[in-house]
Amino acid sequence: MTITLKRKFRRVRLGSRKFVRFESRKFDDTFIDKHGVRAVWEKSERCNCYTDSGQPDYNCGRCGGFGWVYYDARIIPMLVTGISLTKQLREIGEFVPGYASGTVAADYKVGQHDRFTLTERSQITVDPAKRAASGNMDAIRYPGAAIMGVLAVRDHTGEYVQDGRQSEGQQPDYYTDGNVLTWIPAGRQPAHGNRFSIRFQHRPIFVVVDPPRSRGDGSELFPWALSLRRLEYMRSAAEIDISGGTPTGILLGGG
């Protein structure tokens, strides 16, 4: 699909010189609203689990080891453009997957580390997991509010049966609620400490990785340019053990 953008400029004369003035309000109202997607914008706040070394507690139950918690969710329009893997980037080895560019209207004061959930898009991720040291619950390393459904849970022994999807007379092995997977005692389950994989469908989440930029002169702000990265490329490699209860914070999409 080809999108043609009519420039939102008007000519301004100052003395004998002519200038071109960008009318950001018209750009916001027409291009971003018409061609953008609806996204849930959440403001960020550094979690209080940060240590003196500047690193988060990877076992923190509030932020899930990510280091940031989120609040004040609201739906706004935004433009999202993916970064393609060009031949030049491949040759110099500087391409890092998961990055994108975003644009939001000047009215939205987006900060670094804020995050956006795209409500009109979905993707499928296969995530490694590890059974908790005890108990019957495990966590999917993604905010529960963005998860649309678990498609499969597997390990080297085969696929486990999800409650509600079993054949007649078949014993289910687990059920899910948001990003919490609960094993049914009467069913099969991996041994504590063993690894397995979870395939799930979810809404894409992007995190603002650099300070937002605008070329405003103070009298009229331009739209904010955002450098984004998908959340699944930023998560801590630390294992999540929720044997003591249900996780909170980034794992459940709240603060």
Q: What is the mean pLDDT of residues 113-127?
A: 91
Instruction: Assess whether pLDDT exceeds 90 at residue 245.
Output: no
Q: What pLDDT score does 12 carry?
A: 47
How many helices and strands, by DSSP H and E, does the chain display? Answer: 3, 15
Assigned CATH for 17-121+204-255: 2.40.10.270
Q: What pLDDT score does 198 carry?
A: 95
Within 10 Å of residue 40's Cβ, how many Cβ atoms? 19
Instruction: Assess whether pLDDT exceeds 90 at residue 154.
Output: yes
Residue 244's identity, in one-letter code, is G
Q: What pLDDT score does 36 carry?
A: 84
Which residues lie below 8 Å from residue 243, measured CB to CB, with a gap of 6+? 132, 133, 134, 135, 137
Domain locations in the chain as residue ranges = 17-121+204-255, 122-202
Greatest pairwise CA separation for the chain in angstroms: 86
Lowest-confidence segment of 18-27, 97-106, 224-233 by average pLDDT? 18-27
Which of 228, 235, 241 shows the shortest CA–CA distance to 56?
235
Lowest-confidence segment of 8-17, 38-47, 59-68, 190-199 by average pLDDT? 8-17
Q: What is the mean pLDDT of residues 192-205?
A: 93
Two tokens, residue 26: 């018209």
Phi/psi for 221 (5° steps) reads -80, 140
Instruction: Assess whether pLDDT exceeds 90 at residue 76.
Output: yes
What is the helix (H) or strand (E) element at residue 79, kind and residue range? Answer: strand 68-82
Q: What pLDDT score does 235 carry?
A: 59
pLDDT category at 243 given cuts 50, 70, 90 is: very low
> pTM score, two decimals?
0.73
More confident residue, 121 or 238: 121
Q: What pLDDT score does 22 carry?
A: 55
DSSP letter assigned to residue 194: -
Task: Specify whether the CB–CB gap between 226 and 118 falls below 8 A.
Answer: no
Instruction: Assess whether pLDDT exceeds 50 at residue 242.
Output: no
Instruction: Assess whether pLDDT exceeds 60 at residue 20.
Output: no
Task: Specify whether the CB–CB gap between 146 and 119 falls below 8 A.
Answer: no
Q: What is the mean pLDDT of residues 65-84?
A: 84
Question: What are the CA-CA distances from residue 57 to residues 119, 133, 134 (Å)?
Answer: 30, 19, 21
Separation CA 112–CA 186 (nearest Å):
46
Q: What pLDDT score does 152 carry?
A: 95
Separation CA 81–CA 32 (nearest Å):
12
10 Å CB burial of residue 131 (0-12, 13-18, 19+) is buried
Separation CA 167–CA 161 (nearest Å):
9
Separation CA 25–CA 222 (nearest Å):
9
Task: Specify whether the CB–CB gap between 200 and 127 falls below 8 A.
Answer: yes
Q: What pLDDT score does 226 carry?
A: 92
What is the helix (H) or strand (E) element at residue 92, kind and residue range? Answer: helix 87-92
